[in-house]
Amino acid sequence: MQPEFIVINKPANLDFHHTADQISLVDLVRIQTGLTELFTVHRLDKMTSGILLLARSSESARYFSQLFAEHRIQKYYLALSDKKPSKKQGWVKGGMEKGRNGSWKLVRDGGLSAVTQFFSYGLGEGQRLFVLKPLSGRTHQLRVAMKSLGSPILGDERYAGTAADRGYLHAYAIEFIFANQHYQYIAPPNSGDLFQTPQLLNTLTQLGHPSELAWPK
């Protein structure tokens, strides 16, 4: 029996959609794997690397879409910033509204509800690692959440991040139950000089799987 899904580690700076410079990410995966039946169930921004699920049938795509809608898929991201946050751990809650030139902003009242939990860890030399757990799936949610903390993501110049060799946001881990079976995946970042430092790698080793952290209630 064939698996109902595949998990890939998306490279940074690869567009999800078809552009003038590249075919769509899903078409690239089809070419690389020889699988013609692939369906998208969630997306990652162009700058974001990491774990991406692709369903292998329309039936499993519908099931995954239901899991996402019911918040029964847990996703965990890594981000780096060179700015100190307003708080070291907790929640970012608000409404997401469209701003200018394709950007989004967080507002107190109105907008699309967006909720993110996070922890942060000092890495030395002014850098800080964030482990982010989005409880909703809004466009640019984590990038806007980081900016609202006063810690825009390194390389994310759209949201006031310091210029870097890439945007330092990575879909690190995912956990879900599919057809009564528990699945848990981790994909460490494999690009970006600042994602490969001994301090960061040692911190990730100490953390273990992010689902085991004592997430704020």
Active site residues: 45
Rounded-to-integer distance, Cα 33 and Cα 106, Å? 39
Query: How many Å from the N-terminal Cα to the C-terminal Cα in the chain?
Result: 40
Give one DSSP letter per residue of 77-142, joined into a string: EEEEESS--SSSEEEEEEEEEE-STT-EEEESSSSEEEEEEEEEEEEETTEEEEEEEESS--TTHH
Rounded-to-integer distance, Cα 10 and Cα 187, Å? 10
Cα 95–chain centre separation: 19
Contacts of 202 (CB under 8 A, 6+ apart): none
